[in-house]
Amino acid sequence: MSVTLAIVITVVVVALVFDYTNGFHDAANAIATSVSTRALTPRIALGLAAIMNFVGAFLGQKVAHTVSDTIDPPQTNHGLIIVVAGLLGAIAWNLITWYFGLPSSSSHALIGGLVGSALAASVGVSWDTVIGKVVIPMFVSPVLAFAAGFAVMLALLWVFRRANPHKANRGFRIAQTISAAAMALGHGLQDAQKTMGVIFLALVTGGYVGANDDLPLWVIFAAAAAISAGTWAGGWRIMRTLGRRIIHLTPPQGFAAESVAASVLYTTAYVYEAPISTTHTITSAVMGVGATKRLSAVRWGVARSILAAWVLTFPAAASVAALSYWVIHGITRL
């Protein structure tokens, strides 16, 4: 086995480990609202999310190609070291924020890790892609989700203003099965593609595929399986933050937040090809629907902690990735 092939296999394995951590870190994105409103039991919700994550991974490749275009490592073993260091930075930040129960962005951890390792190695970064399709959507998508969540919840309150509360809640619990499935499908569409993009980047760097080729089927299947398995493992700490600590959700609020978040995920994936954060999107939507009750109903102290994690994600993952690159490069001399 050649050294290049061995490193490519290592990158693929590490990428799938990241995908798995993405699944259990972000499982709460799709199911926390449904579980907290008792629309679904935890195990049924996890099973639904795992299946829809798997299916969603097969629905597009645009986000994957955006991720693979963020950096331009040399087509050498050194370039592969840069990619694996970026993945290690993302995995480390995912585990840290999962431990503390903070719903940070796996997407921005991944992009931050790749950028950090690329800068440490003094190779090219596509700043047009990073700024236009990562940084700007990082700020726009939460604002849009918050505003849309607020507006949709107001509309639901007006439409069902004369409905029997007990019957309405029961109906929205049933509707949440659909909205949770849509959210999980969008999560698979967005987040599984990010791992596909890194594996594709490694294959291009190793010279095994061309930059304009389609993603190999085995890459799509492996990424879909890894994120689905991670989702089934669950992310209970973060689920508690999203489902209870920000605001105690009702079934109509849960339905509104999931529907808005899913719509934003589909729009950005298909129209803008942007790898946005499912975490940012659903969390902002939850805050938006909660604010319709009264602003004080949202626990803004928890929101500030989440915001701090959002702001720190990109530079923190980049820093760990840069350190990983220097260590690996120093040991291997590649």
pLDDT tens profile 11-35: 899 899 888 888 877 666 667 777 7
Report the Cα 153 to chain-centroid distance in Å: 24
Please report which confidence band the pLDDT of residue 234 belongs to, taking 50, 70 and 90 as the band edges: low
Which residues fall within 8 angstroms of residue 159, CB to CB, at 6 or more apart?
none
Residue type, 222: A
pLDDT tens profile 69-86: 888 888 888 889 999 999
Measured distance CA(280)–CA(103) in Å, rounded: 8
Q: What's the pLDDT score for residue 225?
A: 93
Instruction: Please determine, for residue 256, whether its predicted confidence score (pLDDT) is greater than 60.
Output: yes
Higher-confidence position of 62 and 151: 151
pLDDT tens profile 235-255: 655 555 554 555 567 888 889
333 phi/psi in degrees, rounded to 5: 60, 25
Averaged pLDDT score across all residues of the chain: 84
Q: What's the pLDDT score for residue 295?
A: 65
The two structure tokens encoding residue 190: 């967005």
| Three-state secondary-structure class, residue 124 | strand
Which residues fall within 8 angstroms of residue 155, CB to CB, at 6 or more apart?
none
pLDDT tens profile 145-172: 989 999 999 999 999 988 888 888 889 9
Instruction: Please determine, for residue 39, whether its predicted confidence score (pLDDT) is greater than 60.
Output: yes
What is the model's pTM? 0.83
Where do the H-state alpha helices sit in 273-299? 278-291
Residue type, 303: A
Q: What's the pLDDT score for residue 158?
A: 93
Q: Report percent pLDDT > 70 for the chain.
A: 88
Please report which confidence band the pLDDT of residue 300 belongs to, taking 50, 70 and 90 as the band edges: low
Report the Cα 266 to chain-centroid distance in Å: 13
Please report which confidence band the pLDDT of residue 222 belongs to, taking 50, 70 and 90 as the band edges: very high
Instruction: Please determine, for residue 105, whether its predicted confidence score (pLDDT) is greater than 70.
Output: yes
Question: What's the average model confidence in pLDDT over 95-114?
Answer: 80
The two structure tokens encoding residue 189: 């569409």
71 phi/psi in degrees, rounded to 5: -130, 165
Higher-confidence position of 295 and 57: 57
pLDDT tens profile 106-139: 788 889 999 999 999 998 888 988 888 888 887 8
Residue closest to 258 by CA, chosen among 156, 330, 122, 113:
156
Instruction: Please determine, for residue 298, whether its predicted confidence score (pLDDT) is greater than 70.
Output: no
Residue ranges of domains in the chain: 3-332
Residue closest to 305 by CA, chosen among 236, 241, 235:
241
